[in-house]
Amino acid sequence: MNYTILHSCLPSSTRAGIKKCIFVDPNEQATLIKLHDSYFELFLSEEEIQEAVGSLAEKIAADYKDEVPIFVGVLNGSFMFVSDFLKAYPHDCEVSFVKLSSYQGLTSTGIVETLLDVSEDIDGRSVVILEDIIDTGRTLQELVHLFTNTNVKEFRIASLFYKSEIYNGEYNIDYVGLEIPNRFIVGYGLDYNELGRNLTAVYQLKQTDMMNLVIFGKPGAGKGTQAGILKEKYNLVHISTGDLFRYNMKNKTALGQLAQSYIDAGDLVPDQVTIDMLQEEVERNPEAAGFIFDGFPRTTAQAEALDQFLESKGMMVNGCVALEADDEVLTLRLLERGKESGRSDDQDESKIRNRFAEYNEKTAPLKDYYTNQGKFHSISGIGAIEEITERLSAIIDQLPK
């Protein structure tokens, strides 16, 4: 597809640090934008959005034509929606704003902060929250809590965009403009690291044809060796969480110091820290054809977090492959390796068998998780290196992209 570059995207030789580009196909009039490190494609036109805003205003006006409601917009994302909604609303009304935050980059932190509260006297008044988008419901939960101890006459919720498939369903959504699938979107007040809010249309993260693998294997099964071969064969980036932790802590990065603080306190490092390390590594390799994730996920919760992160990047796990081998064979293999490497955990048979038991305990639910998605594959990890590579390649070559 050929694109004409608009004035907002100059040649890289003159705008090496550019963060925002817009491309327009002159034949199809399809629009593609780049914000920071990611591409987004047109999802909803300005006309479709304005039609939804007008419909919402009409529905709410019918319910409040005999009183003066207070509309409460949720900053920052709702500023364009609130502005257009008020223009379309035909009766008297008042407006206020609250400010909450739970997103950084493409993913939710899961922690909602109240940055600006409602200051007006709302006792005995009807309040309608105007949300730009409702997805998981975390922000909505905080909003409801803001009004729990007030004496408002009535409290209702309106959202321009609504992701019903991931909403937790705890509270009723009274007015919905458009129900949309679970995709990361920008524009019309919504941002990606603060870019894109001023766009009058809405764009979704562009899906990419990448190959992303999760590789499992008991200690000594050879997954490190195979990962090294596969990354060269398929032009993939091998991401070992063990290596990521060692790199970040050795170089005293912000994430490394954060992880070290948990370790020093005797606590488990939260999954989000690992996800943030993975995200940084993925974003350091924008030209990669895909990734091999080694050592993560280790639990179902981590697998869900990985899926959410990859989805936010327009990616997914294409397949999960486990290298299977008999414990007795692996024990002998590790004991031999211990003689050469000097690793203490490879020289004690009881420690080796404890590692096997831990692997079995943690990977069993993961096997079910990926099996339910139709992505789990198992091969024998016994044999010559070349033979195992052939077994892996036979699976990888058949994985859907």
pLDDT at 399 over 60: yes
Q: Tens of pLDDT along 282-293?
A: 888 877 889 999
Q: Which residue did the predictor score with more confidence, 315 or 148?
A: 315
How far apart are the C-alpha atoms of 159 and 177, rounded to whole Å? 6
Say if residue 76 is preceded by a cis peptide, omega within 30 of 0: yes
Helices (H), 254-348: 254-264, 271-283, 300-312, 327-341
Mean pLDDT rounded to a whole number for the chain: 82
Q: Which residue did the predictor score with more confidence, 148 or 370?
A: 370
Domain 211-396 -> CATH class: alpha beta
Q: Comparing 46-198 with 211-396, is the CATH topology the same? A: yes
Q: Which pLDDT does position 235 carry in this prediction?
A: 85
Q: Tens of pLDDT along 46-99?
A: 999 999 999 999 999 999 999 999 999 988 889 999 999 999 999 999 998 888
> Strands 126-134 and 70-75: what pairing?
parallel
pLDDT at 15 over 70: no
- Quick one: how far is CA 236 from the chain centroid? 20
Residue 315: how many CA atoms within 13 Å on its side-chain side? 22
Domain ranges of the chain: 4-35, 46-198, 211-396
> 0.85 exceeded by the pTM?
no
How far apart are the C-alpha atoms of 68 and 326, rounded to whole Å? 73
H or E element at residue 320: strand 319-324
3-class secondary-structure state, position 28: coil
pLDDT at 104 over 50: no
CATH 3.40.50.2020 fits 46-198, yes or no: yes
